[in-house]
Amino acid sequence: MDPYFEGKKVIVTGAGKGIGRLLCITLAKQGAKVIAISRTAKDLESLKHENASIEVYSQDISDWSSTRKLIEDIGLVDMLVNNAAVDRKKPYLEIKEEDFDYLYNTNIKAAFNISQAVVKCMIEKERCGSIVNVSSIAGINPVHSIGTYSCTKAALDMMTKSMALEFGPYKIRVNSVNPTVVMTTMGRAAWSAPGVADNILKRIPNGRFAEEIDVVNAIVFLLSDKASMINGIQVPVDGGHHTNFL
């Protein structure tokens, strides 16, 4: 248990699977009061079964009004991790309006909405805090056939910087982590077939994709007091992938 996290309230979105789920379990073990949000009730039931201390809410965060009400009802928290994201792997010429809206409504609009509600409460209650946005190296460098997703992550990175600039005077820090491919269950299914990952792996100096724990460790660090002078940055969790996009 980390004394810094003991009793701290933290919201994690996209908490049902992968990075979000592991993050919830990790923070709960550190003594934090974890509030897990996911649109999939079954995943939340499983998470609650694994750690009964975690508070769970089933919510489609792309719905602005109901999400805002939920966050306002939750009230004051110390930390927020905007982890929820969706993707539709299509080249630009195949993206339709509904695809565009689907990606932006979850990946950027929902993060903006939730962050705004959380920060308003922090400022009103004169509480310092920390926010981490889970972005992607696709927000730093383009990746073929996920251009619209990349645009949402680039927007999230700029939102991170803008929030850090505006909220730093209130002692509210905002940073992002930018992973390469992460070996979640979905990641392994997509990238484990022979030859599929070769073109990307050869561009990663460390020679491997990220594991969930690699991203979780970076998030926990940025949330903690060990990162008290780190604000408004993007942290690539990518084994050097961002250095080798030629």
Q: Is the pLDDT of residue 57 over 90?
A: yes
- Write down the pLDDT at residue 188: 82
95 vs 176: CA distance, rounded Å: 27
Q: Which of the residues 8, 9, 109, 153 is marked catalytic?
A: 153
- Write down the pLDDT at residue 22: 98
Residue 236: strand, helix, or coil: strand
Residue 206: strand, helix, or coil: coil
Q: How confident is the model at residue 185 (pLDDT cuts 50, 70, 90)?
A: confident
Active site residue 149: yes
**Class of domain 9-241 as given by CATH:** alpha beta
Token pair listed for 191:
């990238």
Q: How confident is the model at residue 219 (pLDDT cuts 50, 70, 90)?
A: very high
| Lowest mean pLDDT segment, chosen from 29-33, 148-152, 202-206 | 202-206
What residue segments make up the domains of the chain, in order of their start?
A: 9-241
- Write down the pLDDT at residue 246: 54
Q: Is the pLDDT of residue 196 over 80?
A: no
The total number of residues written for the chain in this structure: 246
Q: Which of the residues 8, 9, 57, 149 is marked catalytic?
A: 149
Q: pTM of the entire structure? A: 0.96
Active site residue 153: yes
106 vs 112: CA distance, rounded Å: 10
Mean pLDDT to the nearest integer, 118-139:
97
